[in-house]
Structure 1
Amino acid sequence: MAISPTPTHLFLLSLFTLSLFLSIPTAESESDLVADLLALQSESKSGVIHLDDRTIAKFLTSPQTPRPYSLFIFFDATQLHDKSELHLPELRREFALVASSFITNHNYSNTKLFFADVEFRESQSSFQLFGVNSLPHIRLVGPNAKSLKDDSEQMDQSDFSRLSESMAEFVESRTKLTVAPLHRPPILSKTQMGLIVALLLISAPFVAKKIFSGETFLHDPNIWLSGAIFVYFFSVSGAMHNIIRKMPMFLLDRNDPSKLIFFYQGSGMQLGAEGFAVGFLYTVVGLLLAIVTHILVHVKNAKAKRAVMISAICVSFWAVQKVILLDNWKTGYRVHGFWPSSRN
């Protein structure tokens, strides 16, 4: 027995057909977006996709949420690469390291997370859209983020000191995806290592002959003396602090960019130049002390001894006074004289 369709059945059938028709382009659109991101990713050596205002609108603002992917974005400004205190080129390299490691660890088949960068001159509107007003700045845009400023997650600038490790931990904690291990490129290539080994093998007999005959530079006392002075200067000048903290040698004066600041007033920061200046003063005092205790004692002329001793005392007093004055100017602390009272 045939069933004649009623108007209600026709309406439901038409609604179902329309919804099915509309759902097909949406799925194709999402797959097209992922395919475009994979294509852009493959064109980059590090896997970092370069975005601008147009592509940000295409991949972030135009698609409906939830999007089938997340974007981890590094905000850059090439005109600020010469600002050593920002460390933008170094952070950009570390960001690229995280991206390439993530892609490698997922066998180039990941479609859930993409790494991208945005340059200020090309995408000023996007910087405003994200509310970025200072650099360095890294932000993760999740699939459900509607407002790029309010719904995306910014990486804390205090974490930048650990570089790629902090970036990887941030991504893993927010996306539940595995980033590690990080694949850092070797310092020397295989070709360079081969050349070094070949040179060592060729020079080994000649070096051994020099060592046994005592004719190497390591047998020269002056080399060891120079090395000891360098180690002393390196220790007292804060050079290790500058290397670990990546402190600049100087800063540009904000009020007058043509001027350089070598001494920063404030105990929370020390520039490389002021550390080297204090280290030089300490080294002068140490060398004078070494001259008095190791060389001057062999001089037989009493007047010469007296003149050198007085000069060493005056120069040492001047150097120590300069260090104390600089410390007082920098920290506000004063050094007071202390005379012990007599015992009762």
Structure 2
Amino acid sequence: MVISPNSTLLLLLSLLTVSLFLSIPTAESGSDSDSELVADLLALQSESKSGVIHLDDRTIARFLTSPKTPRPYSVLIFFDATQLHDKSELHLLELRREFTLVASSFITNHNNSNTKLFFADIEFRESQSSFHLFGVNSLPHIRLVGPNAKSLKDDSEQMDQGDFSRMAESMAEFVESRTKLTVGPLHRPPILSKTQMGLIVALLLISAPFVAKKIFAGETFLHDPKIWLSGAVFVYFFSVSGAMHNIIRKMPMFLVDRNDPNKLVFFYQGSGMQLGAEGFAVGFLYTIVGLLLAFITHLLVYVKNVIAKRVVMIIALFVSFWAVQKVISLDNWKTGYGIHGFWPSSWN
């Protein structure tokens, strides 16, 4: 059987048309797969009140390990463990709230239309395999999985734990520096609701005439010298106890001993960290010395009995010496630095 050249050309054109027709759905199917993943993430995001998607081993595989790179989105993941929520030194609950704040602010600022970045969390007991995939062995932990990350452990980016002290602000900066996306302003909820504010204003307006009458009559608690004395002592204790350091650094009052979970550690040996309890202990010793000095200079001078004065003076000096010696010994134990007294050279 002889095939004419025209028939051969027609056959080739038909095969080319069929192959092009078959290739079009294949290309579209890949695009549909990516769009389906994004649509599913948006659906999960809309179901969450905070906008944080809860992932587990199955959804980690579906959205991160199974899709081919580059994926059309990045995922910022907060690693959590409910059994560690009672460990106040980890601040997991507080960091989780700050993470939620960043997520909700990002979604609000982009009008729920941004599909380049999603926020998610993962819980240890539910997803131990995923924790192993990321190589997470300590908390708190936040990690960004970019579009080109193939290995969840090696290619994803971990947020420095030293930045957790700045909470939501540092999380937003981490997102902006790694994804080149703008988070925008953080929408922190107001301390008081509108109803509470209205009640406070109403109470202030009702009590204003009575308060004004008390002020003009000099009968308020602010006219009591004891209040000012107590306030001065409180400010002094607050200043010398390192309370502001504890607030800024969010330092715990104590730690649990790693070797014995039933034992609490109130004094941490090492100059790089100070617990709240040891700061308050040293502040209490300083306050004792300050109160004794104030008592001697302002009250003891009015005592007419010379023997009583001397006895009280000796006791005050002994207690003050003991308190200062305790502070010095604690500082030496904690930092290794010693304090030595030197006599004037003329006394030698």
What TM-score comes out, normalization by structure 2 length? Answer: 0.95
- Which amino acid counterpart does residue 37 of structure 2 have in structure 1? L
- Measure, in 2, the Cα distance between the counterparts of 1:343 and 1:278: 33
Query: Are 2:165 and 2:250, in contact at CA under 8 Å, matched by a contact in 1?
Result: no
Which is further off, 171-180 or 223-232? 171-180
What is the match of residue 198 of structure 2? Answer: 194
**Does 2:131 match 1:127?**
yes
- Which amino acid counterpart does residue 32 of structure 1 have in structure 2? E
Residue 160 of structure 1: how far off its partner (Å): 1.5
Q: For each residue in 1:27-83, what CA deviation from the matched residue of structure 2 results, as whole angstroms up to 9, or x when unmatched?
A: 222222111111111111110000000111111111122211111111111111122
The count of corresponding residues between Structure 1 and Structure 2 is 343
The list of structure 1 runs, each at least 4 consecutive aligned residues, that deviate by more than 6 angstroms after superposition, is none
User: 1:78 aligned to 79, 82, 85, which one?
Assistant: 82
The 3-state SS of whatever aligns with 1:83 is coil
Query: Are 2:53 and 2:119, in contact at CA under 8 Å, matched by a contact in 1?
Result: yes
What is the match of residue 115 of structure 1? Answer: 119
- Measure, in 2, the Cα distance between the counterparts of 1:155 and 1:11: 54
**Does 2:328 match 1:324?**
yes
- Measure, in 1, the Cα distance between the counterparts of 2:347 and 2:55: 77
Matching of residues 251-270 of structure 1 within 5 Å: 251-270=255-274
Matching of residues 90-101 of structure 1 within 5 Å: 90-101=94-105
What is the match of residue 178 of structure 1? Answer: 182
> Aligned pair in 2 of structure 1 residues 343, 281: CA closer, same or farther (>3 Å)?
closer
The 3-state SS of whatever aligns with 1:75 is strand
What is the match of residue 14 of structure 1? Answer: 18
What is the match of residue 3 of structure 2? Answer: none
What is the match of residue 70 of structure 2? Answer: 66
What is the match of residue 166 of structure 1? Answer: 170
The 3-state SS of whatever aligns with 1:180 is coil
Matching of residues 50-65 of structure 1 within 5 Å: 50-65=54-69
- Measure, in 1, the Cα distance between the counterparts of 2:7 and 2:112: 54
Query: Are 2:146 and 2:156, in contact at CA under 8 Å, matched by a contact in 1?
Result: yes
The 3-state SS of whatever aligns with 1:342 is helix
- Measure, in 1, the Cα distance between the counterparts of 2:64 and 2:13: 40
The 3-state SS of whatever aligns with 1:265 is coil
- Measure, in 2, the Cα distance between the counterparts of 1:263 and 1:207: 46
Q: For each residue in 1:168-211, what CA deviation from the matched residue of structure 2 results, as whole angstroms up to 9, or x when unmatched?
A: 11111222211111111111111111111111000000100111
**Does 2:152 match 1:153?**
no
- Measure, in 1, the Cα distance between the counterparts of 2:33 and 2:106: 25
**Does 2:235 match 1:231?**
yes
User: 2:43 aligned to 30, 39, 43, which one?
Assistant: 39
Residue 266 of structure 1: how far off its partner (Å): 0.8
Query: Are 2:74 and 2:116, in contact at CA under 8 Å, matched by a contact in 1?
Result: yes
- Which amino acid counterpart does residue 15 of structure 1 have in structure 2? S
- Measure, in 2, the Cα distance between the counterparts of 1:294 and 1:329: 35
- Measure, in 2, the Cα distance between the counterparts of 1:241 and 1:34: 44
Which is further off, 210-219 or 169-178? 169-178
Gaps of 5+ in 1: none
Gaps of 5+ in 2: 1-5
- Measure, in 2, the Cα distance between the counterparts of 1:158 and 1:279: 27
What is the match of residue 304 of structure 1? Answer: 308
Residue 4 of structure 1: how far off its partner (Å): 6.3
Query: Are 2:76 and 2:142, in contact at CA under 8 Å, matched by a contact in 1?
Result: yes
The 3-state SS of whatever aligns with 1:41 is helix
Residue 23 of structure 1: how far off its partner (Å): 2.2
What is the match of residue 244 of structure 1? Answer: 248
- Measure, in 2, the Cα distance between the counterparts of 1:199 and 1:168: 39
The 3-state SS of whatever aligns with 2:299 is helix
Residue 153 of structure 1: how far off its partner (Å): 1.4
- Measure, in 1, the Cα distance between the counterparts of 2:59 and 2:144: 16
Residue 158 of structure 1: how far off its partner (Å): 1.7
Which is further off, 140-149 or 239-248? 140-149
Residue 127 of structure 1: how far off its partner (Å): 0.6
**Does 2:345 match 1:341?**
yes
The 3-state SS of whatever aligns with 2:346 is coil
**Does 2:143 match 1:139?**
yes
What is the match of residue 213 of structure 1? Answer: 217
